[in-house]
Structure 1
Amino acid sequence: MKITTKINLITTAWMLCIMIPINVVVFILFMKTTINMEEDMQNQKAADIIKDLDTLSSSSDMEKKLKDYLTFHSYIRIMQPKNRVIFEVTNDRLLSKKMKGKYTENPYAETHLITAENGEEEVLVTRFPIPKGNQLSGSLEIGERLIGLEARKELLRAILGFCTVLGASISLLGGRWLANLIMRPISNMIHTMEEIEKSGVPKGITIQNQTKDELQTMASTFNRMIEKLQVNMERQKQFVSDASHELKTPLTVIKSYANFLKRHGLEDKEMAEEAIQAIHAEATRIQKMTETFLDLAALENENIIELKEVNLVVLCQTIFKQLKDVYRREITLFSTESPIIIQADELKIKQVIIILLDNAIKYSHGRIEVFLEMNQQQAIVRVKDYGIGIPQEEIDHIFERFYRVDKARSRETGGTGLGLHIAKSIMKLHKGEIEIESKVGLGTTVKLILPA
C-alpha cells in the first residue's frame, strides 16, 4: 500500500473517530435538553394544578379546571392507591388508552415510546403526590405527546450524518493534498536516486519551495550528502590518477634496470650494483605505499583497540632515536614531567606520532620540537616544525581522505594524502582529538589531546 493511501486512510479514520463521538454527544445533549424543558413545563403545570385542587368543591368544577390545563395531545389523571383512577380528563383517547396510570408517593418523570397514527412518538409522563395536610390524598399524573420530537430527532440525525460524510470527504481530499505535499520531496528523492542508479552520476534534488520544515531539511541533507559524495569521488579520481603516476614511475625504473640486467647480466659490476640499488629503492617505495593503503583499510574495519598503560615519554624517545638514525634530522623533546602514563593502544599511538613527525620532516628543513604535557584530565602531545606551513583555507580539509595541499610537492615527497586521515581515525578510536595550527612560511603545530 502506498504511503499516500495510508495517509488518506489514517486521516479519514481519525476524522471519523473524532466526529462520531461528537455527534453522539450532540444528539444526547439535544434530547436531554428538549425533554428537560418539557419536564420543567409539566412540573410547573402540576404545581399549579395541585394548588387549585384545594379550592375546588365539586367534580364539575374540577373537570372544567383540569381541562383548562390540557395541552394538545395530553391527559391529566388523579390516582388513588392500587393504581385506581378516580378522575381523568384528556383530549387524546389513544394516548390515554396506551398509558396505564400509576399511583406514586414520590415525584418523578419518565418517557415512553408509543405507536401512534403517524408512526412512533415520544410521550413524557410526570407523576406527583397530592398532599392534604400531613397526609397524601392521591397522586397527579400528567402525560403529553412530544409532538414533532421524533421528526426533529430524524432531522438532527440526517444533519449529523451529512456532516460526518462531508467531514470524511473533506478529510479524504485534505489527506490526498497533505500526502502529495509530504511525498513531493520524497518522490523527487526517489526519482533522483533512480536516475543516479541508472546513470551512475550523483545529482541533487531541486528544492522549489523553501518550506523550512523537516522535509526541506531531509532534501537539504540529501543534497549535502550528494555534494560530499561528488567531492569524494573527484578526490578519489585524483588519487587514482596520482597513485597511478606514483606507481608508474617506480615500475618503469624497476623494469628498465631489470631489462638492463637481463641483457648484460653482472658483467659490469658497477652498473649492476646501481641497478640493484635502484630496484630495491623503488620496490621499497611501492611497499610503503601499499602498507599505507592496507593501514587505512584495516583501520576503517576496526572498532576495538587494545588499551594498556603507555609511557608517552619513553615512546617518543624510542621513535626519535629511530627517525634520527634514518633522516639525520634534529628532533628535540620537551616534557613537563616524566613519566606521562596514558591508557592507549601503543602501536596505534606510535603510528600517529610517526605520521606527524614524517610530515614535519617532509615539509621543513630546520629543527623539529615535540612537547609533552600532562594535567588531571588530559595528556597533550604537540609536534612543531618551522617549515612551509599550511594555508588557512586548507586546514579544514586537511584530515579528509586523499586530500593533499600541494599535489606536485606531495608527489615529490611520496605523500598519498592519507596520513592525517589515518591519524584522526586513530585519535577518534581513543576518544581523543587532533588539532592543527599553521601559518604559511612560519611552520605548523599539530596537537594531540588524549584522555589521561
Structure 2
Amino acid sequence: MQRKNSRTTAEVIRHNFIILFTCFALLTGASVVIVVGINLVHQRQTESIELLKSLNRSFIDDKPDWNQWRKNSSINTQDTYVRVTDRTHSANQPKVFYSKGTKPFLSLKQTQLSKKLHLPFFPALIYTKHYGVLYYRSGERHGRHKNIRSEIWLSLNPIVTTLASVIFVVLIILILSLVLGWFVISLVAKRLTRSLEMLQRTAREHSQSVVNIENLLPVPDSPSEVRELSTSFNELLSAIIENNKKEKAFISNASHELRTPIAAIRGHISLVKRRGKAHPEIVDRSLHFIDDESAKMQALVNGLLALSRADNGIAQPSEFDLAGIVNETVEEQRVILSQTIRTRGEKSATVHANQNSVSQILSILFDNSGKYSPAQSTITVSIKKTDTKTILSVQNQGATIDNDEKRRIFDRFYRGDPAHNSEITGNGLGLSIAYQLATLNNIQITVTDVIPHGASFNLIFNN
C-alpha cells in the first residue's frame, strides 16, 4: 500500500497504459480469433453441404460408391466420416453403409470431456477422443421408393490448428507490443513529467538552502498545466516572501522602538546612581523622564498586543446602529482632542459587524486625525448609505497624503513624512491595528484626499 501511494506520475502513466493496452490487445485478439473461428466453421459447414450433395450423386445400385465419392469430391475427405442408413425396403432392418474409418470412430465411447464440449448452443460441434473436434451434419432423401439418411462428421482439427496459430501470433504480437509500448510510454511519461521533476528538485534545493529561500521556482513553457501550477506556486511564494519581509521589518522596528526608551531609561538610572547623591535635583528630572519613556513602552506593548489579538482574533458580528457608536465615540473624543468634531449624514444606519471592533477602529482614526491635523481645525464624521453599502468617513484638515504613502500607510510601524516630526508621538501601529480589525470584520478601509487639503479615512460596510 505504501509503494502504491508513493508512485511517481511517470510510473502511474506507465502502469495505466499497460493495463489499458493489455485489455485492448486481449479484446482485439479475442475478436480476431472468434471471427476467424466462425468463418472457418461456416466454411466447414458449406463443405459438409457439398459433401452430402456429392454423396447423393455417388449412389450406385442403392448403395454409396465411396471411391467414386472421394474421387469426384473437390473437398478433402481424408478426415471425413460418413454413415448412410437406408430404410427404403425395411424400417426395422435398415441397411447401413460406412465410409473408411467410420466404424472405429463411432465405436468409441463418449468421455466426460466430450460431454462437456458438446454444448447446447453448438450442437453441430462434438469432441471425440483421439479424433478431436468434429462438425456433424445429417441429411435425408425421401421420395418414391427412397428413404435414406446420410450422416457426416468433418474433422475441425485444421481449424483448431489455424486458430492455435492465430492465438500464438496474437500473443507474440501482444508481448512485443507491450515491450515496445513500455519503452515508448516510458520515454513519453518521462518527457511529460520532466517539468514536474524539475519543479520538485528546485523546490527541494530551495527548501534546504538558506541563500535561495526567497527565490522563485522556474516556469516551464510546456505543458500548460505545469506552467500554470508553477505560476500559482510562485504567486504563493511571492506572498510568503513578502509576508516574511514584513515580519522581519516588524521585528526590526519593534526592537528599535523598544531599544530607544530602554537605552534612555538605563542612561538616567546610571546618571542617578553616579550623581544622584551629590545633585538631588537630578533624581526628580530623571524620574520624570523615566516615567515618560516607560509610558511610551507601555503604549507600544499594548499596541503590539492589540495587533496580535487582531491577527489571531475571531470576530462575532451582530446587527447594531452605527450612528449610535459614532455619537458615543465623538463625545469621548471631544474631551481628548483639541480639534472641533462635527457629525453629518445619516442619523441611523444599521450595519453587521463586531461593535467593539468598530468602536476601536473609530478611536484609532480620531487619534490619528488629532495627531496630524492643526489644533484649530475641524474633524468631520459622516455616514452615507446606498443600496448596497454604508460608508463611514472620518475627515481631517491635515496634510494631504501622497499616493505612494497611501499604499503603505496601513503597514506596521510605518510613519509618513509629517509623522517624523518629533512633536508627534506614536509608534506607527494604530492604523495597522485598524486595518487588521477592519479585515477581521469584512470591512473595507480606504484613504482618499480632501479638497483643498486633508485626508479622509473611509469604512465601507456591505449591506
TM-score (norm 2): 0.77
From 334, 345, 360, the equivalent of 2:344 is 334
Letter in 1 for 2:461: L
Aligned to 2:371: 362
The whole-number CA distance in structure 1 between the counterparts of 2:128 and 2:8 is: 44
In the TM superposition, residue 228 of structure 1 has moved relative to its aligned partner by: 4.0
From 36, 40, 43, the equivalent of 1:41 is 43
Compared CA separation, residues 192 and 267, structure 1 to 2 (3 A):
closer
| Within-5 A mapping of 1:19-418 | 19-52=21-54, 55-58=57-60, 59-61=63-65, 63-67=67-71, 68-71=73-76, 73-80=78-85, 86-89=96-99, 108-110=123-125, 112=127, 123-130=133-140, 132=142, 137-144=148-155, 145-146=157-158, 148-149=161-162, 150-196=164-210, 202-207=213-218, 209-211=220-222, 213-251=224-262, 253-255=264-266, 263=275, 277-303=288-314, 305-308=315-318, 310-338=320-348, 340-365=349-374, 366-374=377-385, 378-406=389-417, 409=420, 413-418=424-429
In the TM superposition, residue 291 of structure 1 has moved relative to its aligned partner by: 0.8
Secondary structure class of the residue paired with 2:222: coil
Letter in 2 for 1:109: A
Quick one: percent identity of the two aligned structures?
19
In the TM superposition, residue 34 of structure 1 has moved relative to its aligned partner by: 1.9
The whole-number CA distance in structure 1 between the counterparts of 2:407 and 2:109 is: 94
| Equivalent pair of 1:309/1:342 in contact (CA under 8 Å) | yes
In the TM superposition, residue 328 of structure 1 has moved relative to its aligned partner by: 0.4
In structure 1, stretches of 5+ residues that fail to align are: 117-121
The whole-number CA distance in structure 2 between the counterparts of 1:157 and 1:92 is: 37
Secondary structure class of the residue paired with 2:395: strand
The whole-number CA distance in structure 2 between the counterparts of 1:99 and 1:153 is: 31
Compared CA separation, residues 47 and 8, structure 1 to 2 (3 A):
same
| Equivalent pair of 1:266/1:272 in contact (CA under 8 Å) | no
The whole-number CA distance in structure 2 between the counterparts of 1:95 and 1:153 is: 29
Letter in 2 for 1:360: S
In the TM superposition, residue 417 of structure 1 has moved relative to its aligned partner by: 3.9
The whole-number CA distance in structure 1 between the counterparts of 2:403 and 2:347 is: 33
In the TM superposition, residue 368 of structure 1 has moved relative to its aligned partner by: 1.8
The whole-number CA distance in structure 2 between the counterparts of 1:167 and 1:35 is: 29
In the TM superposition, residue 293 of structure 1 has moved relative to its aligned partner by: 0.4
Compared CA separation, residues 223 and 348, structure 1 to 2 (3 A):
same
Secondary structure class of the residue paired with 1:34: helix
Matching of residue 15 in structure 1 with residue 17 in structure 2:
yes
The whole-number CA distance in structure 1 between the counterparts of 2:386 and 2:437 is: 22
Compared CA separation, residues 386 and 347, structure 1 to 2 (3 A):
same
| Equivalent pair of 2:320/2:351 in contact (CA under 8 Å) | yes
| Equivalent pair of 1:388/1:440 in contact (CA under 8 Å) | no
Deviates more, 1:423-432 or 1:283-292: 423-432
Secondary structure class of the residue paired with 1:146: helix
Compared CA separation, residues 398 and 159, structure 1 to 2 (3 A):
same
Letter in 2 for 1:78: R
| Equivalent pair of 2:192/2:223 in contact (CA under 8 Å) | no
| Equivalent pair of 2:395/2:455 in contact (CA under 8 Å) | yes
Secondary structure class of the residue paired with 1:380: strand
The whole-number CA distance in structure 1 between the counterparts of 2:104 and 2:18 is: 42
| Equivalent pair of 1:257/1:275 in contact (CA under 8 Å) | yes
Aligned to 1:119: none
Secondary structure class of the residue paired with 1:348: helix
In the TM superposition, residue 140 of structure 1 has moved relative to its aligned partner by: 3.1
The whole-number CA distance in structure 2 between the counterparts of 1:29 and 1:178 is: 33
In the TM superposition, residue 93 of structure 1 has moved relative to its aligned partner by: 11
From 421, 436, 458, the equivalent of 1:447 is 458
The whole-number CA distance in structure 2 between the counterparts of 1:99 and 1:35 is: 27
Compared CA separation, residues 315 and 156, structure 1 to 2 (3 A):
closer
In structure 2, stretches of 5+ residues that fail to align are: 116-120
| Equivalent pair of 1:337/1:373 in contact (CA under 8 Å) | no
The whole-number CA distance in structure 2 between the counterparts of 1:418 and 1:112 is: 97
